[in-house]
A and B are shown apart, each in its own frame.
Chain A
Amino acid sequence: MSDSTSTRAGLSDAALAELEKLGKRYPTREALLLPALWMVQQEHGWISQESMLYLAELLDVSPVRVYGVVSFYHMFHDRPPGRYNIQVCHTLSCSLRGAEAILSRLQERLGIGHHEVTADGRFMVTRVECLGACEHAPVCQINEDFEFDLTPEKLEAKLEQLP
């Protein structure tokens, strides 16, 4: 693996060290695939084909296997997401309390559809299934953080505050 590739697509030395430490907990290299994909996404924001090839070599699994895993799980991005990924739950408990109104206001305001990114790269809107926070319905997550008990106005105010 050339240096240019590893800096562009691979893991930092710190992440590699953490991964190798974690490797002691698993009897196979392949079991490190999900943790390693999370690390790549953490460091690069998304998982490119170069990163997939890098991980295939690192963990001794076939590239197609890595690609299959990336495409299977909703949370892995195989293209750059927006800076803020707004994931709005639209399953029953949230829908009963107004998720659709939030989604339509959000999409109208940003002018984008499901899984699209605004032209400035700032926002992505994703309709997601149950986030496991139904007591605070309707909810969304902005990147990793929950936003509870939403109204369209509350979400708009939150978006204004984002750095």
Chain B
Amino acid sequence: MTQRILSLHFDNTDSHLLATYEREGGYRIFRKALQMQPEAVVEEVKKSGLRGRGGAGFPAGVKWGFIPKDTKRPIYLCINADESEPGTFKDRYIMERDPHMLLEGILITCWAIKSSDCYIYIRGEYESTRKVLQAAVDEAYEAGYLGADVTGSGWRCDVTIHKGAGAYICGEETGLLESLEGKKGYPRIKPPFPAVVGLFQCPTIINNVETIASVPWILEHGGDAYAAIGVGKSTGTKLFCMSGHIQRPGVYEAPLGIPFREMLHDYAGGMRRADRPLKAVIPGGSSVPVLTAAEAMEAKLDYESLAELGTMLGSAGVIVIEEGTCMVWALATLTRFYADESCGQCTPCREGTGWVNDIIWRIEKGGATADEFAMVQNLTDNMTGTTICPLADACVMPVKSFLKKFGHEFEEHLQHGGCPQTQPVG
């Protein structure tokens, strides 16, 4: 069965407009939530097992429970719409095609965590998306779903869209907070965790767009109904971002636990060229370890199954790579990303990403020595677990897994003095 929760309205005409959303029953669930005790809403979300869809997979309801009960300070909700993990483009679909579903999720969440102030931090490159989302926010104010007196209940809820300016690191939750405060997006040392000391030194919950957009369905159908979808602790559906060498790249919703094989063939239309079979898959955005074709074809796409294979579901940005692709070159395009995006705060990351990238590119183009290749191991060891945020680890994971699973290609490059392939990929 194709269960659609998040993408139900994606293909409808004018799905981004309030009138369309209300016609489909929109904001009805929020009115129901307003009649509930906030704690009861949190309980329902805990029961659903909904886990953070940005990449970390932390249970959303549990996170909400970390706000100090006796706090006298304002509580903030921040929506992470920075969507910058390479291979990930699902939140763009939600914000462009069903922005009111996100706003209803925000209202319910604000009510649940006793917050009246939400900021949506959207990446600067999504300007056309931001315009759609801002129009939806304006409509919601106009209709009285947002503002000083939400639906005449006397409760205030304000939503402000905050535009980033091009920095992957601002997708890291504390980098996001710094950026919102008007600073460089340098991640903070944790603890304290944002739920205790977050935005403007106040308790703050940061959730991904997709996470919060799932909340209205959970409230409507119940946490148990949501938990019945998916597999084990990987409950519910997920938006999978399929890209790379496939017939039909796109966003596809499926229950967690769907076999990769099915996602590839039934949703993404299979490989783009019949003469080039599958070579490798990066299943969760560029920061997770790569899978070989054999591993991928047996893989199920959920948090636990992928962890057993030594990789991660991450943001479910599934990058599919065909035979004939040079894996040294593919890795080099990734190390370049991390070298470009390291914020520079921690030395092991600032220096490490740069050195690793330099060496991998020289293995690809020629000029690297065997000693330097050996140095990559030492560099990546020193980058692991030695920095404030996980960006360094996010660079190390592809590097180590590419070397482990496609090491012979690196050896061939070294012997050949560069890439043996003459034709660029594409």
Contacts and interface: CB of A to CB of B under 8 A. Distances in A.
Contact of B127 (A26, A99, A135, A144): A144
Given A101-B424, A132-B84, A92 B330 contact: yes
Nearest to B123: A132
A131 B184 contact: no
A35 B244 contact: no
Nearest to B93: A135
Nearest to A33: B182
Contact of A135 (B128, B182, B243, B321): B243
A63 interface: no
Interface stretch (A11-19, A71-79, A154-162): A71-79
Interface in A76-109: 76, 90-93, 95-101
A38 B163 contact: yes
A72 B169 CA distance: 11
Nearest to B159: A25
Interface in B76-117: 83-89, 92, 117
Interface string B308-324: 00000000010101000
A34 B182 contact: yes
Contacts of A30: 181-183
B284 interface: no
B267 interface: no
Contacts of A95: 330, 333, 425-426
Contacts of A76: 165-166
Interface string A120-163: 00000000111111111110010011100000000000000000
B337 A91 contact: yes
Interface residues of A, number: 49
Contacts of B181: 28, 30-31
A96 B249 CA distance: 12
* Among A31, A59, A90, residue most surrounded by chain B Cβ atoms (within 10 Å): A31
Contacts of A73: 124, 164-167, 185
Q: Identify which of B125, B166, B185, B241 gathers the most chain A CB atoms within 10 Å of its CB.
A: B125
A37 to B, nearest CB: 7
Given A93-B319, A96-B321, A100-B424, A129 B158 contact: no
Contacts of B317: 134
Contact of A34 (B84, B125, B128, B165): B165
B245 interface: yes
A30 B179 CA distance: 10
B128 A146 contact: yes
Given A92-B86, A131-B125, A74 B321 contact: no
B86 A129 contact: yes
Given A34-B163, A75-B166, A101-B426, A92 B286 contact: yes
B305 interface: no
A61 B92 CA distance: 33
B168 interface: yes
Contact of B83 (A31, A37, A128, A132): A132
A26 B180 CA distance: 10
- Return the 9 tightest CB-CB contacts between A and B, nearest first: A98-B426, A74-B166, A33-B182, A73-B165, A75-B166, A134-B243, A30-B182, A135-B249, A130-B86
23 contacts: A25-B158, A25-B160, A30-B181, A33-B183, A72-B185, A91-B334, A92-B86, A92-B244, A92-B330, A93-B87, A93-B244, A93-B319, A96-B425, A129-B168, A130-B85, A130-B87, A132-B84, A132-B88, A132-B89, A132-B125, A133-B89, A134-B319, A135-B242
